[in-house]
Amino acid sequence: MKRRLMGSDYACQYRAVDSPIHRLPAGWKMFISTALSVWILVVREPQPLLLATASCLLYYFLARLTLSDLWRDTRFFLIQFCILLSLFLYRLGYPAGLWPGIRTSLQIILFFIPGIVFLRTTQVSSMMKGLRKIVPYRILFLLFTSLRFVPFFAREMQEISLAQKLRGARLSPRESFQPIFWRDVFSCIILPLLVRAMKTADEAALSAQARGMGSRADRTYYDVRVLEAQLATREKTRTRTDTTPNKKLTCQKLPIKRRCETNEK
């Protein structure tokens, strides 16, 4: 149950585990991600590309992400992999088109992996903290709240699609490629999804308003990791000056439940 609750069924969602990558500050992760992505774009030869691939995967698995996470995060890139490879083979023939096709499509997949690791390992509050100096809070809020609703709309789309298929809408993958059935895609899926999206956006906006969003000119930012570090420092200082441990402060440290229980004992 606990393991289940750490992640999400959907791609690019935050995974709540502890790992060296999770512990890195958001700025550092952004720097590493950018560096890795640029490196992947510039390599041309098989050996450096292999090295870049290994580095990307090492970075991914160091974040304690699993193979099934990797599958969720990259499965849709396989479509572009197949399309690009086919185009290269069609244009340059076999075997001349094989290596450029594999290289280009692999580079596209690998380019996104460091960014995916960033999303998987960074809490929204940490991302906001890093970005709020350069981007207005309202825009950040809009951006990151949209990310939160990606799984919700993915689920909605599945349900809508299923309901419409059962009513006779032509939405199978084969039918979706035929322009004659594109009306079904628009009217049976996109239209109800838009209606749901507008309703959900309305409810989310009310929820934000009800909790004081925009009620003050500024706001504070709570970062559980920073606070934990601050409390630990205060704790150290106090224990140096006072031999009696401050039970109340120790109790505030995380992981909350375990520490509190320890104190109670």
- Give the DSSP per-residue string, 168-201: T---SHHHHTSGGGHHHIIIIIIHHHHHHHHHHH
CA 48 to mean position of chain CA atoms: 27
Contact 221, 125 (CB under 8 A): yes
Q: Smallest distance, Å, CB 195 to another protein?
A: 6
CA distances from 163 to 94, 145, 182, 239 (A): 44, 27, 17, 63
CB of 82 to another protein, least distance (A): 20
Q: How far is the CB of 239 from another protein (least distance, A)?
A: 18
- Least spacing, CB of residue 14 vs another protein, in Å: 5
> 44 or 211: whose CB is closer to another protein?
211
Whose Cβ is closer to another protein: residue 33's or residue 164's?
164
Q: Which is nearer to another protein, 102 or 185 (CB)?
A: 185
To another protein, the closest distance from the beta carbon of 50 in angstroms equals 29
Q: Which is nearer to another protein, 101 or 130 (CB)?
A: 130
Q: Which amino acid is at 145?
A: T
218 phi and psi, to 5 degrees? -130, 180
Q: CA-to-CA distance for 117 and 63, rounded, in angstroms?
A: 7
| Between 43 and 213, CB nearer to another protein | 213
d(CA 131, CA 127) in angstroms, rounded, equals 6
